[in-house]
Amino acid sequence: MSHTPPPHTPAPAAAPPAASTPAVRRTVVPALFPPPGYAHAAVVEAGTRLAFMAGSVPLDADGALVGEGDPVRQAQQVVANLDAALRAVGSDLTQVVASTVYVVGTEPGVLAEVWQVVRASELLTVEPHTSTLLGVTVLGYPGQLVEITATAVVPEGAGA
């Protein structure tokens, strides 16, 4: 399968640190291609608390699949679930420093549709972080099409 990246817009030469996370430096490397909405690197200062999140899946609070057959709806649910899990440990989507987005499918268009949901969420609109988008053949739950794993800063004084 040939690799076709999702559509992108030029990124700035370097992304400044997020105002709410001075312990994180996100960087877009000028010598590399302009990434579509993410940073090439994120450096977190020693001593900063981090939350390593399990994969967020498209299940509702009762464990039922949301958006059967619809990767866009599943991506929306996955982002909402990730936000809820992050808030439970004193963080949120804006504090994510790294994520991996898994999408069942071999068509770049499906991956691009899911990526647009991720880009439109607070996960990437406030401050770009490092992210990898992968097409996979299967995920853990029957009918599951999308999953996101993440690592986030837990600000000083926050819960968890």
Within a domain: 109: yes
* CATH value at residue 102: 3.30.1330.40
The range of the structural domain enclosing residue 89 comes to 24-153
* Strand positions, DSSP E, the chain: 24-27, 41-44, 50-56, 96-104, 130-136, 146-153
Give 10-residue mean pLDDT values along the chain (160 residues): 39 37 74 79 85 97 98 98 97 94 95 95 82 96 98 80
Check residue 85 and give its pLDDT: 97
Check residue 13 and give its pLDDT: 37
CA distances from 58 to 11, 65, 71, 104 (A): 30, 6, 9, 13
Between strands 96-104 and 130-136, the pairing is parallel
Number of compact structural domains in the chain: 1
Contacts of 156 (CB under 8 A, 6+ apart): 49
User: Can you give the pTM of this predicted structure?
Assistant: 0.79
Check residue 65 and give its pLDDT: 98
